[in-house]
Structure 1
Amino acid sequence: MTDSHDTALVLDTVLQHLTPDGSRSVPTRFIYRPTDPFAVTVHFLAEGMVVTWLFARQLIEDGLSGCAGKGDVAIWSGSGATAYSLFFTLHSTNLSVTLEAPRDVLFEWLQDTYRLLPAGAESSVVDWEGISRQFFL
């Protein structure tokens, strides 16, 4: 029998990198693992290399219904080029990009993550004793 906490939920989709000159398709993979219950790993395939960012699952949830994030990441919903979209603005040391994602697709995938591990249950799968030993011994 497989423990649902060992299961990763993966969404492969294409985001649009928005620029003043138009947009460029960016193949993107969102990964949720209940073993890292607060995080969503996102891999962007950009110019032949993979760029990885980690987002709080709650940050994406908050961005679906309004503006969320400060600092390196901002997420919000709004009207896109062809549909209602979810936008990500990512800031690094020397680069800032805005990406447009299919909101409905991300919404459904995020709901799947909550069916796998409901909101509020994240702390129940974290090995707090192991973390304490790692940092305090």
Structure 2
Amino acid sequence: METEPQVVRATIIFGLRTFGSVPLPVRADLEYDPADPFAVSVGYHAGGGVVRWLFGRDLLADGLLAPAGDGDVQVRPASDDSRVLVELNAPDGSAVLEAAASELADFLDRTYDEVPVGFEDRCFDFDEELAKLALRD
């Protein structure tokens, strides 16, 4: 009996890079929902709230190996290859965070257990999503 893919979650402590100081710890809740199989959601706990970013699962995976992304989110290996840098750019400012490459890779591996690369379209109905967009005013 085949089971439905499950939501994958992880909590990772990122380090917020600041000038002239050690990185400040920032809790991040990662989530991969097979209902949106191309994306990873990351909720960074900042101040009294959570700042949520959504970006491609492939961007996170590619960034473990080489610089990836040319938009609001860029991911790349750090000079210490056990770390990965995630740069977030928004109109209000930008941030560079670092995390253990092994923790991000473990999270990604669990997402691939649920929805292997190349099988995303089996969880995602493009026609249905386009119809939703067409109904919006």
SS in structure 1 at match of 2:116: coil
Aligned residues: 134
- Unmatched tracts of structure 1, length 5 or more: none
- Find the partner of 2:130 among 123, 126, 132: 132
Q: Quote the Cα distance in structure 2 between the aligned partners of 1:91 and 1:127.
A: 30
Q: What amino acid maps onto 2:45 in structure 1? A: L
Aligned pair in 2 of structure 1 residues 97, 131: CA closer, same or farther (>3 Å)? same
* TM superposition shift of 1:78: 2.2
What root-mean-square deviation, in Å, do the aligned CA atoms of Structure 1 and Structure 2 show?
1.7
Q: Distance in 1 between matches of 2:2 and 2:25?
A: 36
Q: Which residue of 2 aligns with 1:16?
A: 15
> What is aligned with 1:52?
52
Shift of 1:20: 0.3
Shift of 1:79: 3.3
Q: Does 1:94 align with 2:83?
A: no
In 2 relative to 1, CA 43–17 (structure 1 residues): closer, same or farther, beyond 3 Å? same
Structure 1: how far apart are the matches of 2:133 and 2:71?
A: 26
Post-superposition Cα deviations, 1:94-134, rounded to whole Å, max 9, x if no partner, equal: 21110001110110110110111000100111123322332
2:40 maps to a residue whose letter is: V
Cα 1:2–1:10 shift into 2, 3 Å: farther
Supply the distance in 1 between the matched residues of 2:121 and 2:35 (Cα, whole angstroms).
10
The percentage of aligned residue pairs carrying the same residue is: 32
Give the Å deviation of 1:60.
Answer: 0.3
Normalised TM-score (structure 1):
0.90
- The 2-side partners of 1:136 and 1:92 are apart by 27
Give matches, 1:1-137, under 5 Å.
3-5=3-5, 7-22=6-21, 23-80=23-80, 84-136=82-134
